[in-house]
Amino acid sequence: MQIEYTEIDQEMTPLGLLVLRRYEAETGEIGYEILLDGGFLMASHGAHSEAAMANLAYQRLDYPRNGLRILVGGLGAGHTLRAALNLPGVEHVTVAEIGQKVVEWNRRYFSVVNGGAVNDPRVAIRIAPAQQVLEENQQAFDLLLLDVDNGPGWLAAPANAPLYESAGLRSAQAALRPGGVMAVWSPQPNPLFEQALAQVFPGFERIDTAALGRPLGEPGDTIYLGVVSTSIASRGTF
């Protein structure tokens, strides 16, 4: 199938050159893609697993689900943000995104697929690496939804690697409220990442999304889930 690409905009960031391009397939499908230094990051299409992260993490909360505060690491095309906002009881969502223009692209080009998510009054955008936002916030979030780069095994930006190592995972653990849940997107199982994850989140889960993607004609991805376990009674109020 032939696809015609047209570059629309670009932005130089600390991680590299972000490029927005429009695609039009011979079937008539039209959409947009974001690339980092030539490597694919996110697109209008094919986002079942990015959206599923929010629900999978939410289902593992072990306390009353209201007044939730969420961190989305990586805005991309806004699929994960949209899914987070659709969860019951969400009070506030912080988005850590490295590119200012990615926010503009969401408003102008991706709003049709994410329902204008960045304009929701519950959303605050931080133009900063996810790792920095995690380190600056202690026990601040109920859910962490991390879809930075292309996951731990397929980095377009080597500078993102620390997020998937033990120190980065400990920052994530510290940023979660007791009983909170971290979800990490990956294109496939990653044994090296699992070794680091097991040190910080014992009993982590690895979810294959193939069953979710199959009805949409999309290949399965992998979602990792880690819980900061505690009893509801010891959680306190926030």
Helices marked H in the chain: 48-58, 79-85, 100-105, 111-114, 130-135, 166-175, 191-200, 210-213, 232-235
pTM: 0.92
- What's the rounded mean pLDDT across residues 28-41? 91
Rounded to 5 degrees, what are φ and ψ at 102?
Answer: -60, -35
Residues whose CB is less than 8 angstroms from the CB of residue 79 and which lie 6 or more positions away in sequence, other chains included? 42, 47, 50, 51, 113, 114
- Per-residue pLDDT tens for 153-169? 778 788 888 999 999 99
- Domain ranges in the chain are 47-235
CATH for the stretch 47-235:
3.40.50.150
Residue 4, CA atoms < 13 Å, CB-side half-sphere: 6
- Per-residue pLDDT tens for 170-228? 999 999 999 999 999 999 999 999 999 999 999 999 999 988 888 878 888 999 999 99
Place of tokens 């009070």: 91
Count the neighbouring beta carbons within 10 Å of the beta carbon of residue 89. 12
At 92, list the tokens: 């506030």
User: Given a cut of 80, is residue 234 above it in pLDDT?
Assistant: no
The answer to whether the beta carbons of residues 41 and 76 sit under 8 Å apart is: yes
User: Given a cut of 70, is residue 231 above it in pLDDT?
Assistant: no
